[in-house]
Amino acid sequence: MLRIKLALITNMSTKYRFCGLIFIAFTNLCISTPAYSHDEFISVIENVKPSMVTIRANKKKSFFKTSKQRERESILGEYNDFFENGFDKLPPQRNGSGFIIDTNAEYSWILTAAHVVVGSSKIIVTTSQGSSLNATLLRSDSGSDIALLQVNSGQLPTLMLSENSLKEGQSVLGIGAAFSLSMSSSLGIVSALDVKLPALSKTPLIQTDVSVNPGTSGGALINSSAEVAGLITKIYSSTGVFSGSSFAVPAKKIKGLLQRWRKDLAVPITAEKNAKQ
């Protein structure tokens, strides 16, 4: 191909030879250099996935009650649970994702979305190695939809919270257990920053086009350095499934909460630096 181009140029006048050489250089550069490669995220996924967990939260018993049922509850008191006839139970289980943020020889601490675990009677965390662990809810913040869990298992792989600010157009990776299936990844870009939604009006969010579906809540928004840039919390959809926009709580907000909770809790969680195992 190059020989044909050069042969054509030799038959041109001097006036056009220079332009022909520039054209060849430009076309060869375009052919040999792709516009963008996503291959850099292959190693990112490999590094991040071991620190991801799936979460199953069994909700506390709740009922829709008629006036007669409420009256009976006031009479029976604590024994009311033994007489459940006529009660319609709410959905008993919620599924989500999370990631391990710190660990020591005995315990590990996990971040997830508060709406997945708050109000639960039992929380089960499943690690990437397949271990199922009972988790304790230590703290939650409804204003930012962040929750901190603890499991009695140490020396687990952890993720670092990013120190760098995101920029619009920057590539990011969302990782979570969509539809409660195996952990999966979705690549997208930052669509907007400092976005406020009615449900979380006090927390400026990261808006992306990363695909997020039920089960991904609490998952990690990851930058190209394999660091947590945000915690996936919500989608903007009228159908309940992804329709183009998803939202995450920025790492900066998460750090602020961890610093505050660390003062209240007798646990060594750290927001500044997390050593990868």
> Which of 131, 151, 171 is the last residue before a domain boundary?
151
Co-location of 142 and 56 in the same domain: yes
CA distance 116 to 218: 8
Whether 194 is a known active-site residue: answer no
Q: Which residue has the higher pLDDT, 13 or 258?
A: 258
Write down the catalytic residue from 120, 140, 145, 246: 145
Is 265 within the bounds of a domain? no
> Which of 151, 176, 195 is the last residue before a domain boundary?
151
Write down the catalytic residue from 97, 108, 115, 185: 115
Is 235 within the bounds of a domain? no
Whether 185 is a known active-site residue: answer no
Is 67 within the bounds of a domain? yes
Residue among 95, 90, 93, 133 at smallest CA distance from 112: 95
Whether 38 is a known active-site residue: answer no
CATH code of the domain containing 119? 2.40.10.10
Sign of CA dihedral 12, 14, 19, 20: positive
Co-location of 88 and 142 in the same domain: yes
Write down the catalytic residue from 97, 108, 217, 246: 217
Is 202 within the bounds of a domain? no
Beta strands 184-197 and 171-176 are antiparallel
**Among 30-34, 102-106, 198-202, 265-269, which range has the highest average pLDDT?**
102-106
**How many CB atoms sit inside 10 A of residue 235's CB?**
21
Is 129 within the bounds of a domain? yes
Structural domain range at position 134: 52-151
Sequence-ordered list of residues with C-beta below 8 angstroms from that of 3, at least 6 positions apart, any chain: none
Residue among 266, 184, 262 at smallest CA distance from 274: 262
Name the least confident of 22-26, 121-125, 180-184, 238-242.
Answer: 22-26
pTM of the model: 0.74
Amino acid at 139: R
> Which of 97, 127, 151 is the last residue before a domain boundary?
151
pLDDT at 36 over 80: no
Number of domains in the chain: 2
CA distance 55 to 269: 20
Co-location of 59 and 87 in the same domain: yes
